[in-house]
Amino acid sequence: MDRESGVNEELRPTPTCLGCIVNTGRILLIQRAAEPNKGYWSFPGGRVELGETILDAVRREVHEETGLTVEPQRAFQVYDWITRDEAGDVRFHYLVNYVLCRYV
């Protein structure tokens, strides 16, 4: 619990990024290995670390997950992904930044 705001730090929105990589008319997807959404198909990406820009984060995350080097072009969409438990309380809140990337 943050003393100043009274908000549980774990319940603050978490900034994330996803790399949308198009190459020769094909889009790169990965199958998620961990929760949330384990087993589902997604763009590669992950959390933005403290002090890291969204573009630097997507470059790092895509490389970590796929081994590919990409050049982020621009963020083009932000989506709030909020999941709630059975009582309606917020379980997760991610700010998902979609970034168009060029395969290098």
* Residues 40-53 pLDDT 10s: 999 999 999 999 99
Q: For 1, what's the count of Cα atoms within 13 Å in the CB-facing half-sphere?
A: 2
The Cα 7–Cα 53 span in angstroms is 25
Task: Give the angle 72-76-79 at the CA atoms, nearest 5°.
Answer: 115
pTM assigned to the model: 0.84
Give the tokens for residue 57: 């984060």
Cβ neighbour number for residue 18 with a 10 Å cutoff: 20
* Residues 10-40 pLDDT 10s: 678 999 999 999 999 999 999 998 877 899 9
- According to DSSP, the residues that pair with 99 across neighbouring strands are 19, 75
Q: Which domains occur in the chain, in start order? A: 9-103 (3.90.79.10)
